[in-house]
Chains A and B, each alone.
Chain A
Amino acid sequence: MIKAGPEVVVPVPSPHTLGNLIDALEVHYPSLRHTLRDQEGNRRPYIRFYACRIDISFWSWESGLPESVVQGQEPLLVVGAVSGG
């Protein structure tokens, strides 16, 4: 069985973009800084973002989040690599 990490709720300033969401996550959890995105701000290859059953990892940071995520009805999933370790 795969263990999922805790679900957290963070306030995201407008506009509600993928980049602003990850920024907000890092503000509330500074130790995540540069672990999801590298030192230059690019998504690390072994990190994926899922929402509403679709892979949004390749969306630009400026992309607007799905409305159901903005409304808090659906989570945005941050998925780390599931091999190795």
Chain B
Amino acid sequence: MASVRLLIGTKKGAFVVTSDGNRRDWQIEGPFFAGWEVYHLAGSPADPQRIYASQSHAWFGQVIQRSWDGGKSWETVDNTFVYEDPVGDHLWYDGTPRRWEFKRIWHFMPDTDDPDTVYAGGEDAALFLTCDGGKSWQEMSGLRRHSTSSQWAPGAGGMCLHTVLQDPKNKQRMYVAISAAGVFRSQDGGLTWHAANRGLVSDYLPDPRAEVGHCVHRLAMHPDRPEVLYMQKHWDVMRSDDGGSSWHEVSGNLPSDFGFPILVHPHDPRTVYVIPIQSDSLHFPVDGRLRVYRSRSGGDEWEPLGNGLPQKHCYVNVLREAMAADRLEPCGIYFGTTGGQLFASADEGESWLTIAQNLPAILSVEVQTLP
């Protein structure tokens, strides 16, 4: 029988959570790296026993961990992340120039074919690549060479590169998203990049339709339809049908179009999930009711899914990296909250159970579907 392994990153360590394919009984292992922030863990699609973890701490910096046995044991690798010269400046919160400075890795994207190859998105925003299983990392500096990079500015969480996507049909085509710069697309495997923000409207910018400066919270792609991209922006849920060349809004009947994660159903490219949050200054579910919203039509028309989720007095947040889906049939949906709750649905979101309710604040949720 197939099984499911969840990789949970939290403010105070990582947890590995497993179940068989029934997804009713769960075992929780951890915390690993207790006391440290774990922004993300990701398994290699080519070898699921290979897992990479980003462990960081405001006092001690970044530590990269890897496991070759599915998360049972871990080893440190290398922690050197160097920005290529000239390092240059970006904008700080107050609008003044500030030199790029490495803080942490937010996101891993292991290659689909080679378990030693991993892309990593960093703060301050940059894309790094390892081809030796994390022993060494090189910046793919073409991204920061973009003509607008001196205008990029941090979102509230820092100037993070939080999403890396690769077109499985054409691996030369890649996308990254930076908060708060926007989306960038490469057609040459990450050597050069172009802004891909046409159609985004951000009223907090002097020019709401500017080339860059948009606070994109998350992108999602289905491998069968890689030209279709979904976006949860600071405000607005957006879709592109042309590989990021243009975007249009699909917020439709959502009670709020502010939120962080966005997820595509693993078996249906037109089914999308978001978790509406009250507003940019009120990071909790609308009306204190925690509900996932699902669209079966690629957006615009959304239905609430709250069966089993707290429907009153719920004032947690769900962060951008904290929702994922398994590949079973029917698929399972998982998300974690800043209140330490981990929720699972084994029926595509129709009903939910609570796997854990007292973990540290959850930063990331990844799923591995194991044979």
Interface residues of A (CB under 8 A from B): 30-31, 33-36, 38-39, 44-47, 80-81, 84-85
Q: How far is the CA of A29 from the CA of B78 in the complex (A)?
A: 11
Whether A34 contacts B80 in the complex (CB less than 8 A), given A39-B102, A85-B35, comes out as: yes
Q: Is the CB of A31 within 8 A of B79?
A: yes
Q: How far is the CA of A84 from the CA of B36 in the complex (A)?
A: 11
Stretch in contact with the other chain, from B18-26, B58-66, B255-263, B363-371: B58-66
Q: How far is the CA of A34 from the CA of B82 in the complex (A)?
A: 11
Query: Which has the most chain B C-beta neighbours within 10 Å: A35, A36, A38, A81?
Result: A35
Q: How far is the CA of A44 from the CA of B76 in the complex (A)?
A: 20
Contacts of B315 in A (CB 8 A): none
Whether A30 contacts B76 in the complex (CB less than 8 A), given A39-B81, A39-B102, A85-B35, comes out as: yes
Q: Is the CB of A34 within 8 A of B59?
A: no
Q: How far is the CA of A44 from the CA of B146 in the complex (A)?
A: 31
Q: How far is the CA of A64 from the CA of B249 in the complex (A)?
A: 63
Contacts of A39 in B (CB 8 A): 61, 80-82, 101-102
Main secondary structure of the interface of A (DSSP, over half): loop
Q: Is the CB of B80 within 8 A of A35?
A: no
Nearest-Cβ distance from residue A28 to partner chain B, whole angstroms: 13
Q: How far is the CA of A30 from the CA of B64 in the complex (A)?
A: 11
Closest chain A residue, CB of each to CB of B35 = A85
Contacts of B59 in A (CB 8 A): 44-47, 80-81, 84
Q: Is the CB of A44 within 8 A of B60?
A: yes
Nearest-Cβ distance from residue A78 to partner chain B, whole angstroms: 11
Nearest-Cβ distance from residue B228 to partner chain A, whole angstroms: 38
Q: Is the CB of B35 within 8 A of A34?
A: no
Contacts of A84 in B (CB 8 A): 59
Q: How far is the CA of A4 from the CA of B76 in the complex (A)?
A: 21
Q: Is the CB of B35 within 8 A of A44?
A: no
Q: How far is the CA of A44 from the CA of B78 in the complex (A)?
A: 18
Whether A33 contacts B60 in the complex (CB less than 8 A), given A39-B102, A85-B35, comes out as: no
Nearest-Cβ distance from residue A38 to partner chain B, whole angstroms: 6
| Number of interchain pairs (Cβ within 8 Å) | 37
Contacts of A44 in B (CB 8 A): 59-61
Contacts of B81 in A (CB 8 A): 39
Nearest-Cβ distance from residue B105 to partner chain A, whole angstroms: 12
Contacts of A80 in B (CB 8 A): 59-60
Contacts of B61 in A (CB 8 A): 34-35, 38-39, 44
Residue pairs across A and B with Cβ atoms less than 8 A apart, 5 shown, are A34-B80, A35-B79, A39-B81, A44-B61, A81-B59
Q: How far is the CA of A85 from the CA of B76 in the complex (A)?
A: 20
Closest chain B residue, CB of each to CB of A31 = B76
Contacts of A36 in B (CB 8 A): 60
Q: How far is the CA of A46 from the CA of B80 in the complex (A)?
A: 19
B330-352 contacts to A (CB < 8 Å): none
Contacts of A30 in B (CB 8 A): 76, 78
Q: Is the CB of A33 within 8 A of B78?
A: yes
Nearest-Cβ distance from residue A39 to partner chain B, whole angstroms: 5
Closest chain B residue, CB of each to CB of A34 = B79
Contacts of A35 in B (CB 8 A): 60-61, 63, 79
Closest chain A residue, CB of each to CB of B87 = A40
B311-337 contacts to A (CB < 8 Å): none
Extra contacts, 10 of them, besides A39-B101, A80-B60, A81-B59 (Cβ < 8 A), are A31-B63, A33-B79, A34-B80, A35-B60, A39-B80, A45-B59, A46-B59, A46-B60, A47-B59, A85-B35
